[in-house]
């Protein structure tokens, strides 16, 4: 076996040094591991337990003969050990350490060696346990743990690579960081929590009357104070070595604690709930980061692939998740209302969660979501606070465009950012009319995000004939109109979804609709309401097409929103010959709802009427699949908007279907699709949720399996897609 290192000397056989030695031995990262420790008992124990191959009795000899020396001694004694070995350390020998503070260790090296040696690679494995001593050594301690290396400008590249390889060989993930940044980050994430745990336990333990607390202490106390059983000497060293950074973060923490104290004294429940709900959402987000499913990780870095098995039948009754458009708006209007708004059926997808988080960032207390229930403590039209930084809206064009209107009317400055896909989408379509209203708003290069808005602008209502049929633009202008003097009128070239108008009315804000025009007067107020979000027809559409194209299918989609501005997909599929019926039609909270029953039926190609395009704007990816399964040719025109969605949806579908052998040509504003056989193969969703799900549906009729790349964003609108698809008989799995 080829070893990364020939002879490695670990000075200091505690938990960290011992675990590194053991892991290197067991994984073959090193030919011979030698241990040295002032405590000869620990050394003997290390040899007996097989943690090291050899024990060094003479430190100087051992240093002279090693290729790599790892300093695993407490931070405080680093300098004296360095002083000792400085006289004998050969120039070519690589030196590294495992200290949890880096600035101090680098200073120690500087004074011990008369300058930091280029072969010294400062390191810090973020791993450990409350146990200490060589007997606690664990060969798996570093598996999937991060190791931070803080090389200096002149650190030798070869030495750096060697040390990186050493850590990687024991399963760790190596990161590089600036020394100062390392010490600040660690003060916040590690040193402060240890200080708090030590302090809490000591405070409680020293109060005699509180002795009983230990007897009755349950999970919370145990979880919070586990680290108070850590090695006292080691932590004593850490706080002395990283005092400044710790004091800074301790100061911030103390202010937060003081605020909570005041809130309790003043019985300020809203303040408490605000802190707790924000903390909970941040902690939940952190758990997602740990499991690698966090939204704010660049989704393009996580290539989740779907494998959809060819063939199958779709049968059963399901309720797809809540409507995305209505979910966004429920949070927005609930936050600006006076009183408490309860939402049910909220879509817990990444897009609407981004909106929810943005309002939390602006000081709104929001409880949940818990099983689709959200409670929003409205702050009134002028109660939002300036967010601490840019509002990150992920993949959501709706959030960004609606926020632009809403924030144009605030007293504070704001900035809106998004992921890679959102950062390519046109924003001048909203910035333009907002400027006409008096907003001070800038977009990034090419009219794309980020959007920067200057607060305190006086807005005036406008009369805006929209150049394109866009509910987002309409909603943006209407939301800005709430903060404008006089009337705001928007006229649309074709009907688009009217959830904003309906919901404003539901919150008691008068909106007049006359033909293609929607009008409101600024300066009013919103009153809290109850919102029951129906299932999203855009998500239901995947199963409408699935049941239509797969033989012997029969599916009932429950409680789906059938707002007349959204039913294009039903109209188009029915024209193609689909067997779709609406059952149990009713109205829920101002929105029409029905159960949709679909049975398999042969489809035929049609010329899609252009007036249906805005009414089915999000459903075209899956309608392309219906067209590919239909007999004859389907022609789509007047759909140029599809080119500026989460991806260029015309191109994405043309490329994907051609890869599966379908006869399809893209045009500027649509496509010509000839029905016929669909082959198996591999397609790329380009990170677009609806493209990914559309191709999963296509597999029901494909001759071979379909592998779909880049599917992580399915979580933006339909987080349980695979689960529901599986429950009705489709076979879609995440491929490793």
Q: Please give the positions annotated as active site.
A: 618
Asked whether position 475 contacts ligand S3P by CB under 6 A, the answer is yes
Residue 470 binds to ligand S3P (criterion: CB under 6 A): yes
Sequence-distant (6+) residues with CB within 8 A of 57 are: none
Cβ neighbours around 280 below 10 Å, total: 12
Say whether residue 410 binds ligand S3P (CB under 6 A). Answer: no
Task: Give whichever of 96 and 325 is closer to ligand S3P, judged by the CB atom.
Answer: 325
CB nearer to ligand S3P: give 417 or 472: 472
User: Which 381-400 positions form the footprint of ligand S3P (CB under 6 A)?
Assistant: 398
The beta-strand segments (E) located in 468-524 are: 484-485, 487-491, 512-514, 517-521
Q: Which is nearer to ligand S3P, 179 or 400 (CB)?
A: 400
Q: Residue 448: CA atoms inside 13 Å, Cβ hemisphere, count? A: 11
Q: Please state the closest distance from residue 590 (CB atom) to ligand S3P, in A.
A: 16
If the CB atoms of residues 237 and 351 are measured against ligand S3P, the closer one turns out to be 351
690 binds ligand S3P (CB under 6 A): no
d(CA 15, CA 21): 10
Q: What is the smallest separation between the CB atom of 665 and ligand S3P, expressed in angstroms?
A: 24
Residue nearest to ligand S3P (CB): 325
Buried b (16+ CB within 10 A) or exposed e, 377-412: bbbebeebeebeebbbbbbbbbbbbbbbbbbbbbee
d(CA 620, CA 173): 42
* Helix pair 324-336, 499-506: axis angle to 10 deg: 40
Q: Which parts of 47-108 are beta strand (E)?
A: 54-55, 68-71, 94-97
Cα 143 to chain center, whole Å?
Answer: 24
- Nearest-approach distance from CB 599 to ligand S3P, in angstroms: 28
Phi, psi (degrees; rounded to nearest 5) at 2:
-90, 125
Q: Which is nearer to ligand S3P, 638 or 661 (CB)?
A: 638
Contact 227, 194 (CB under 8 A): yes
| 325 contributes a contact to ligand S3P by CB under 6 A | yes
**Structural tokens at position 646:** 């989460």
Cβ 617 to ligand S3P shortest distance, Å: 5
* Whole-number Å distance between alpha carbons of 719 and 609: 32
CB of 328 to ligand S3P, least distance (A): 6
- Identify residues 150-169 at the interface with ligand S3P (CB under 6 A): none
Segment near ligand S3P (CB under 6 A); pick from 210-218, 243-251, 466-474, 726-734: 466-474
Q: Taking contact as CB under 6 A, which single stretch among the options 437-445, 468-476, 562-570, 601-609 is the one that binds ligand S3P?
A: 468-476
Find the largest Cα–Cα distance for the chain.
93
**In 525-617, at which residue ranges do the beta strands (DSSP E only) sit?**
530-532, 554-561, 579-588, 591-599
Of 407-415, 419-427, 464-472, 602-610, which segment contacts ligand S3P by CB under 6 A?
Answer: 464-472
> Residue 17 and residue 35: Cα distance in Å, rounded?
9
Choose which of 164, 169, 395, 472 interacts with ligand S3P (CB under 6 A).
Answer: 472
- If the CB atoms of residues 493 and 551 are measured against ligand S3P, the closer one turns out to be 493
**Residues near ligand S3P (CB under 6 A), total:** 11
Smaller CB distance to ligand S3P: residue 125 or 397? 397
For residues 577, 580, 586, 587, the Cα torsion angle rounded to the nearest 10 degrees is -60
Strands (E), 217-339: 305-308, 315-318
What x-and-dash track marks residues 485-514 binding ligand S3P by CB under 6 A? -----------xx-----------------
Q: How far is the CB of 351 from ligand S3P (least distance, A)?
A: 9
What's the rounded Cα separation, in Å, for the pair 9 and 55? 9
Sign of the CA dihedral running 445, 451, 455, 459:
positive
CA distance 617 to 644: 11
Q: Is 618 in the site for ligand S3P (CB under 6 A)?
A: yes
553 is a contact residue toward ligand S3P (CB under 6 A): no
Supply the DSSP string of 99-137, one letter for each residue: -S-SHHHHHHHHHHHTS--TTEE-EEE----S--SGGG-
> Minimum Å distance from CB 471 to ligand S3P?
4
Part in contact with ligand S3P (CB under 6 A); list of ranges 294-302, 383-391, 450-458, 467-475:
467-475
325 vs 713 by CB, closer to ligand S3P: 325
3-state secondary structure of 499: helix
Q: Please answer whether residues 451 and 431 qualify as being in contact, where contact means their C-beta atoms are separated by less than 8 angstroms.
A: yes
For residues 32 and 685, which CB has a smaller minimum distance to ligand S3P in the complex? 685
Question: Can residue 471 be called a binding residue for ligand S3P (CB under 6 A)?
Answer: yes
- Spatial contact of 3 and 24, defined as CB atoms under 8 Å apart: no
The residue among 181, 171, 117 whose CA lies nearest residue 149 is: 181
Cis peptide before 535 (omega within 30 of 0): no
- Could you tell me which stretch among 5-13, 139-147, 470-478, 652-660 binds ligand S3P (CB under 6 A)? 470-478
Q: Are 688 and 648 in contact (CB under 8 A)?
A: no
Q: Residue 258 or residue 611: which is nearer to ligand S3P going by CB?
A: 611
580 binds ligand S3P (CB under 6 A): no
Q: Which CB, 407 or 617, lies closer to ligand S3P? A: 617
HSE-CB of 367 using CA atoms within 13 angstroms: 13
Stretch that binds ligand S3P, among 151-159, 207-215, 469-477, 580-588 (CB under 6 A): 469-477
Q: Which is nearer to ligand S3P, 186 or 471 (CB)?
A: 471
Cα Rg of the chain (Å, integer): 31
Name the residue with tokens 């400008």. 153
**Which is nearer to ligand S3P, 169 or 472 (by Cβ)?**
472
- Other Cβ atoms less than 10 A from the Cβ of 544: the count is 25
CB of 381 to ligand S3P, least distance (A): 21
User: What gap in Å lies between CA 452 and CA 235, rounded to an integer?
Assistant: 44
Candidates 462, 617, 691, 715; binder of ligand S3P (CB under 6 A) is 617
Tell me the β-bridge partners of 95: 69, 120
Smallest separation (angstroms) from ligand S3P to the CB of 614 = 7
Task: Select the residue interacting with ligand S3P from 517, 579, 641, 655 (CB under 6 A).
Answer: 641
**266 to 305: interface string for ligand S3P, x by CB under 6 A:** ----------------------------------------
Structure tokens, 308: 């959809």
The residue ranges that bind ligand S3P (CB under 6 A) are 325, 398, 470-472, 475, 496-497, 617-618, 641
């Amino acid at each position: 076996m080829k070893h990364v290192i020939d002879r490695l000397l670990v000075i200091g056989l505690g938990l960290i040094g011992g675990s590194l030695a053991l892991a290197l031995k067991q994984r073959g990262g090193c030919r011979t591991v030698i241990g040295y420790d002032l405590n000869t008992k620990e050394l003997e124990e290390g040899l007996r337990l097989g943690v090291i191959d050899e024990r060094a009795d003479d430190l100087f000899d051992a240093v002279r003969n090693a290729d790599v020396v790892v300093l695993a001694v407490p931070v405080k004694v680093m300098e004296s050990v360095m002083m000792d070995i400085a006289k004998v350390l050969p120039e070519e020998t690589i030196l590294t350490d495992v200290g949890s503070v880096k600035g101090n260790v680098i200073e120690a090296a500087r004074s011990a060696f008369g300058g930091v040696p280029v072969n010294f690679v400062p390191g810090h494995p973020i791993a450990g346990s409350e146990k200490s001593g060589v007997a606690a050594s664990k060969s798996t301690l570093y598996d999937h743990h991060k190791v931070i290396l803080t090389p200096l400008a002149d650190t030798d590249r070869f030495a750096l690579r060697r040390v990186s390889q050493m850590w990687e060989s024991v399963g760790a993930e190596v990161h590089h960081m600036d020394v100062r940044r390392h010490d600040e980050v660690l003060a916040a994430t590690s040193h402060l929590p240890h200080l708090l745990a030590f302090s809490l336990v000591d405070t409680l333990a020293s109060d005699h009357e509180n002795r009983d607390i230990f007897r009755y202490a349950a999970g919370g106390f145990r979880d919070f104070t586990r680290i108070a059983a850590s090695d006292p000497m080691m932590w004593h060293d850490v706080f002395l070595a990283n005092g400044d950074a710790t004091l800074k973060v301790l100061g911030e923490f103390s202010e937060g604690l003081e605020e909570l104290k005041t809130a309790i004294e003043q019985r300020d429940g809203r303040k408490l709930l605000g802190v707790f709900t924000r903390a909970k959402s941040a902690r939940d987000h952190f758990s997602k980061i740990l499991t690698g499913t966090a939204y704010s990780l660049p989704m393009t870095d996580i290539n989740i692939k779907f494998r959809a098995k060819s063939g199958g039948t779709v049968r059963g009754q399901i309720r797809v998740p809540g409507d995305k458009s209505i979910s966004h708006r429920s949070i927005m209007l609930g936050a600006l209302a006076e009183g408490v708004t309860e939402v049910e059926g909220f879509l817990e997808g990444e897009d609407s969660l981004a909106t929810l988080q943005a309002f939390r960032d602006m000081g709104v207390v929001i409880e949940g979501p818990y099983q689709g229930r959200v409670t929003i403590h409205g702050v009134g039209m002028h109660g939002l606070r300036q967010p601490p930084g840019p509002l990150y809206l992920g993949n959501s064009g709706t959030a960004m465009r609606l926020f632009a209107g809403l924030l144009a009317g605030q007293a504070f400055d704001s900035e809106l950012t998004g992921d890679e896909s959102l950062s390519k989408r046109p924003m001048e379509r909203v910035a333009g009319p907002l400027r006409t209203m008096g907003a001070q708003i800038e977009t990034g290069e090419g009219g794309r995000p980020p959007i920067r808005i200057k607060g305190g602008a006086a807005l005036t209502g406008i009369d805006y004939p929209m150049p394109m049929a866009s509910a987002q633009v309409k909603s943006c202008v209407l939301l800005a109109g709430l903060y404008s003097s006089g009337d705001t009128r928007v006229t649309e070239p074709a009907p688009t979804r009217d959830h904003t108008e309906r919901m404003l009315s539901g919150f008691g804000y008068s909106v007049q609709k006359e033909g293609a025009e929607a009008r409101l007067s600024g300066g009013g107020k919103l009153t809290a309401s109850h919102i029951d979000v129906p299932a999203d027809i855009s998500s239901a559409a995947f199963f409408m097409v699935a049941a239509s194209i797969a033989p012997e299918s029969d599916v009932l989609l429950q409680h789906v929103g059938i707002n007349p501005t959204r039913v294009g997909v039903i109209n188009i599929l029915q024209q193609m010959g689909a067997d779709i019926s609406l059952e149990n039609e009713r109205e829920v909270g101002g929105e029409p709802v029905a159960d949709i029953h679909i049975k398999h039926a042969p489809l035929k190609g049609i010329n899609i009427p252009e007036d249906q395009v805005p009414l089915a704007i999000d459903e075209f990816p899956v309608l392309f699949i219906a067209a590919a399964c239909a007999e004859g040719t389907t022609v789509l025109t007047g759909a140029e908007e599809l080119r500026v969605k989460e991806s260029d949806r015309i191109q994405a579908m043309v490329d994907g279907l051609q890869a599966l052998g379908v006869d399809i040509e893209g045009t500027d504003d649509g496509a010509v699709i000839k029905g016929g056989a669909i082959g198996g193969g591999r397609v790329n969703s380009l990170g677009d949720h609806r493209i990914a799900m559309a191709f999963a549906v296509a597999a029901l009729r494909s001759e071979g399996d379909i592998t779909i790349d880049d599917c992580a964003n399915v979580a933006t609108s339909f987080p349980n897609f695979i689960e529901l698809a599986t429950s009705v008989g489709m076979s879609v799995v995440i491929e490793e």
